Amino acid sequence: MIQEQEKQEKIVSMFDNIAPTYDTANRVMSMGVDKSWRRKACDLSYDFYNHKSIEKIVDVACGTGDMMDFWKKRAQKAQIQVDEIIGIDPSVGMVDVARKKYPAFNYHISKATEIPLDDASSDILSITYGIRNVVERKEALEEFNRVLKKDGLVVILEFMKNENPSLLGKIRDFYMNKILPKVGGIISNNLEAYEYLPNSIEDFSTVANMQDELEAAGFEILYTKSFSMDISTLLIARKI
């Protein structure tokens, strides 16, 4: 337990350190293609939820707030009323950046396992490129279930481990392991932080295991798809 806490604290500290350059590094490394993945996640989730009025959307590991802005803009495009969008993140540095970029949203400095919201209070909960940084993942998924209303959606975008990579998958792995850390390290002046990314993916779950974990936490899988040479995977699941 102490080791898990120390590991989690180290990850949070790392994100505090790279917060000022995080957005620039992400845009360069993803070449902006992550925007299409985020749009897809929002649009599909709104279709699956099929409500024209939504009380609360929660973005866990919200980082610098970009996914929250996607939820807002895609709702406006679909003429969906969203009353409140809340960002949750344990990194003060990241949330400070988010607050400056998106002051209209509400924020809480909190871990994914200790979300300061009432039971069954939220319609949609997202976590984009953050679930692999949660050390106590089982507890986090159970916490997601707790704060969601019945039939509420959990939306996960993540870099997943690929056990049997194709040729394109091997190209992806080369980029993620050899090129991406150097680019991120140059931009952020923190090579260690961006070497963490490929290591965290290798240590993370496969898509099949992630689906099993969601089902064990009380969710029904609605949608699973990997994009761009399996770089990114989207999972949408409903609380049952």
Alpha helix positions (H), 102-206: 137-147, 167-174, 180-188, 191-202
pLDDT at residue 102 in the model: 97
What is the mean pLDDT, run by run of 10 residues, along the chain of 240 residues? 77 76 65 84 98 98 95 98 97 94 97 97 95 92 98 92 65 70 71 67 79 97 85 92
Q: Is 15 exposed, middle or buried (0-12, 13-18, 19+ CB in 10 A)?
A: buried
- Report the number of distinct structural domains present in the chain: 1
pLDDT at residue 110 in the model: 96
pLDDT at residue 41 in the model: 97
Q: How far apart, in whole angstroms, are the C-alpha atoms of residue 62 and residue 126? A: 9
Residue entry with tokens 């974990």: 213
Q: Give the predicted TM-score (pTM) of the model.
A: 0.85
Q: Which residues constitute the domain of residue 180?
A: 2-239
pLDDT at residue 79 in the model: 98
pLDDT at residue 232 in the model: 80
pLDDT at residue 108 in the model: 98
CATH of the domain at 186: 3.40.50.150
